[in-house]
Amino acid sequence: MTSTTTPQPAIRVQNLEKSFKDLHVLRGVDFDVAPGSIFALLGSNGAGKTTIVRILSTLLRADAGAATVNGFAVSTDPLRVRESISLTGQFAAVDEILSGRENLVLVARLRHLPSPGRIADDLLARFDLTEAGSRRVSTYSGGMRRRLDIAMSLIGQPAVVFLDEPTTGLDPEARLDVWQVIKELSAQGTTVLLTTQYLDEAEQLADRIAILHQGRIIANGTLAELKQLLPPATVEYVEKQPSLEDIFLALVGNDDVRETIGKDKS
Amino acid sequence: MTTHLLDDTASLTGRSLRHITRSADTIITTAVTPIAIMLLFVYVFGGAIETGTENYVNYLLPGILLIAIASGIAYTAVRLFTDMQSGIFERFHSMPIARSSVLWAHVLTSLVSNAITVVIIVVVGLLMGFRTSASLLSWLTVAGILALFTLALTWLAVVAGLSAKSVDGAAGFSYPLIFLPFISSAFVPTDTMPAPVRFFAENQPVTSIVNTIQDLFAGEPVGNDIWIALGWCVGILVLGYVLAMAAYRRRIS
């Protein structure tokens, strides 16, 4: 895509409002996302995270306020917005009956790119799906589906990627894989807007974190800035206990997990 | 926006045609029930039915084809509903494609799959003794009417697929359509029906379509029926398309 040198934000949201009948989901949301950064939108279920993502990806119209993505207004220039973005929703939006490779080829065709077959093969290799590439997606595990889903989102190198709860329902190993992909994306200069209800996910990945609560952004800053909102830390001596995640990963070993995932559905 | 309409429709139609070729059972299921009805009527009831034609298969086949199409389009509603549920509909809509290609792909796929079903049933009909003196032009006219009928019902299926709350709802809307041919001239002439039933039978879309196709196959002049049949098909098509667009706008607003 065309990368502009202007310092304007990759995403700008101003006073966004949206209601569904009597339910006032967004009550004036404001935030900016800097180009190439990872921005986490944190909130509990029903806080309105998905509504924001749907408005920014031109699937839903806002009642009031303005939003621009990559410099284009979602309300007046939706086609240019769609050229700039890709969306990975909460549920892996992959075609179950097609093979993994066919899913990728389809998206490359719809983005009107030359040599869709080569693009598909490259992504299969990058996402560890080469072996499964010719199998129907209905035989994939949850982690494989999510990897394919994200791979489909990267076709055409969109400037902005929306990831709506990308790790919900994944096992710890698949979750780490997704985190790795998100970090790589950002390293390549892609802007990532991530929604999550996992605090550690925001902590691990995000350059900035905004907390959405009852339709408004109640806090927005870097992790360090958010930590300053609380009283200074007091020093206590606590025995360091391994988390269950540490134990799980230590016991099964990373390679074993991946093999189990690959085999259990085939 | 329209520059990619043809490309995108072709890509997405290729996708849903794969759904058909990979679940050949849907085509077989769609063909089996009408064939079973045809066997039942020809070899069980047929001997007792007075149609004024020597060959009951000739009389019955057009109605059987309409039943097959009416049940075949239910799969379009189900496929569309599944796309909405799985999120792939939203993925396509968040991409820089001609958005209407998403619906057109399903509509074209419906035309292809129903055409396959129709061919299977005609072949079985030929094995059961269906004979026609129809000219090439008559065959083409029959194909055109059936395609128009499929297209009209498919847009109704799109309405069902977009508005349904469950898979059963998406599939179930076609049941009344499947029964329409039974209350028409498809199985028996309307003369023997009681007056109110006869009035309904003679003034519903299926009868004019069945009569037209029967005449075309028999090599007889079609008379006014073909215009009534075309009127019904175009009317349902326009209504279905308008309702489908309204349902579509509701879904994406």
Per-residue pLDDT, A7 = 66
A50 within some domain: yes
Q: What is the pLDDT of residues B162-177, one digit of tens each?
A: 998 888 888 888 888 8
If you search the block for the tokens 């939006």, which residue do you land on? A93
Per-residue pLDDT, B95 = 93
* Average pLDDT value for chain B: 89
Residue-by-residue DSSP string for A6-36: ----SEEEEEEEEEETTEEEEEEEEEEE-TT
Nearest chain A Cα distance for residue B245, angstroms: 16
pLDDT higher than 80, residue B215: yes
Nearest chain A alpha carbon to B86: A93
Nearest chain B Cα distance for residue A206, angstroms: 24
pLDDT higher than 80, residue B51: no
Helices (H), chain B: 5-22, 24-40, 56-72, 74-86, 88-93, 100-127, 136-163, 167-172, 175-179, 195-202, 205-218, 225-252
Q: What is the mean pLDDT of residues B107-132?
A: 93
Q: How far apart are CA A40 and CA A136, in angstroms?
A: 33
pTM for the full model?
0.85
A112 vs B: CB within 8 A: yes
pLDDT higher than 80, residue A251: no
CA atoms within 13 A on the CB side of A60: 19
If you search the block for the tokens 């007075």, which residue do you land on? B50
Interchain CB distance below 8 Å, A110 and B93? no
> Which percentage of chain A shows pLDDT scores above 90?
55
CATH number of domain containing A117: 3.40.50.300
pLDDT higher than 50, residue B1: no
Per-residue pLDDT, A263 = 47
> 10 Å Cβ neighbour count for B138?
19
Longest pairwise C-alpha distance within chain B:
61
Per-residue pLDDT, A51 = 93
Nearest chain A Cα distance for residue B8, angstroms: 6
Q: How far apart are CA A83 and CA A2, in angstroms?
A: 10
A4 within some domain: no
* β-pairing verdict for A11-20 and A23-33: antiparallel
Q: What is the pLDDT of residues B133-148, one digit of tens each?
A: 888 999 999 999 999 9
Interchain CB distance below 8 Å, A79 and B8? no
> Which percentage of chain B shows pLDDT scores above 70?
98
Q: How far apart are CA A46 and CA A30, in angstroms?
A: 18
pLDDT higher than 90, residue A16: yes
Domains held by chain B: number? 1
Per-residue pLDDT, A266 = 40
Shortest CB distance from A83 goes to which of B12, B91, B96?
Answer: B96
pLDDT higher than 80, residue B76: yes
A266 within some domain: no
> 10 Å Cβ neighbour count for B189?
15
- Comparing A3-7, A249-253, B190-194, which segment has the lowest mean pLDDT? A3-7
B96 vs A: CB within 8 A: yes
Helices (H), chain A: 49-56, 78-84, 100-110, 116-126, 142-154, 172-187, 199-205, 223-228, 244-252, 254-264
* Average pLDDT value for chain A: 86
A201 within some domain: yes
Q: What is the mean pLDDT of residues B97-116?
A: 93
Nearest chain B Cα distance for residue A112, angstroms: 8
If you search the block for the tokens 């109605």, which residue do you land on? B63
Q: What is the mean pLDDT of residues B181-200?
A: 86
> Which percentage of chain B shows pLDDT scores above 90?
55
> What's the domain range around B199?
2-252
Per-residue pLDDT, A254 = 59
A26 within some domain: yes
> What's the domain range around A155?
11-234
Confidence of residue A255 (pLDDT cuts 50, 70, 90): low
pLDDT higher than 70, residue A259: no
pLDDT higher than 60, residue A233: yes
- Closest-CA residue to A202 (of A246, A169, A150, A167): A167
Chain B interface test: which of A95, A98, A101 (most B C-beta within 10 Å): A95
Q: What is the mean pLDDT of residues A221-230?
A: 82
A257 within some domain: no
Interchain CB distance below 8 Å, A59 and B97? no
pLDDT higher than 80, residue A157: yes
Interchain CB distance below 8 Å, A86 and B97? no
Q: What is the pLDDT of residues A21-35, one digit of tens each?
A: 888 899 999 999 999
pLDDT higher than 90, residue A10: yes
Per-residue pLDDT, B102 = 93
A261 within some domain: no
Nearest chain A alpha carbon to B84: A93
- Comparing A211-220, A225-234, B92-101, B112-121, which segment has the lowest mean pLDDT? A225-234
Shortest CB distance from A112 goes to which of B4, B12, B14?
Answer: B4
Q: What is the pLDDT of residues B226-241, one digit of tens each?
A: 999 999 999 999 999 9
Q: How far apart are CA A116 and CA A105, in angstroms?
A: 5
Q: Give SS3 for A116.
A: helix
Q: What is the mean pLDDT of residues A72-97?
A: 90
Interchain CB distance below 8 Å, B8 and A110? yes
pLDDT higher than 70, residue A177: yes
Q: How far apart are CA B104 and CA B9, in angstroms?
A: 6
* Residues forming a β-bridge with B29: none
Q: What is the mean pLDDT of residues A57-68?
A: 93
